[in-house]
Amino acid sequence: MMTTVRIYVTYKPSVFDPQGETITNSIHALGHQDVKSVTVGKFFDVTVDGDQVEATVKQIAEELLVNFNMETYTYQVLEEK
């Protein structure tokens, strides 16, 4: 079975996000004071062919994509064929 998974990588809440802060300030400069914060992250769409999707995704995220000193991750199954 082919499964496409989206892995989201973001800063931990305790880590300062300078890009998010800059974007938030720029949004405020546009007059949108109702926006309280912006969090910047990245995502990776990974297609796995096999039955061990969760184990594969966890290994890829934890050993390659995420710096656990400052980042965390979640994932979402987008499509199963």
Q: How confident is the model at residue 1 (pLDDT cuts 50, 70, 90)?
A: confident
Which 3 state secondary structure label does DSSP give 44?
strand
Beta-ladder partners of 45: 6
- In the prediction, which pLDDT does 40 show? 97
Q: What region does 50 belong to: left with phi over 0, alpha with psi -120 to 50, or beta?
A: left
- Alpha-carbon dihedral of residues 10, 15, 19, 20, nearest 10 degrees? 70
For domain 2-80, give the fold: Mth169; Chain: A , (3.30.1280)
Which pTM does this prediction carry?
0.87
Cα 58 from Cα 72, distance rounded (Å):
12
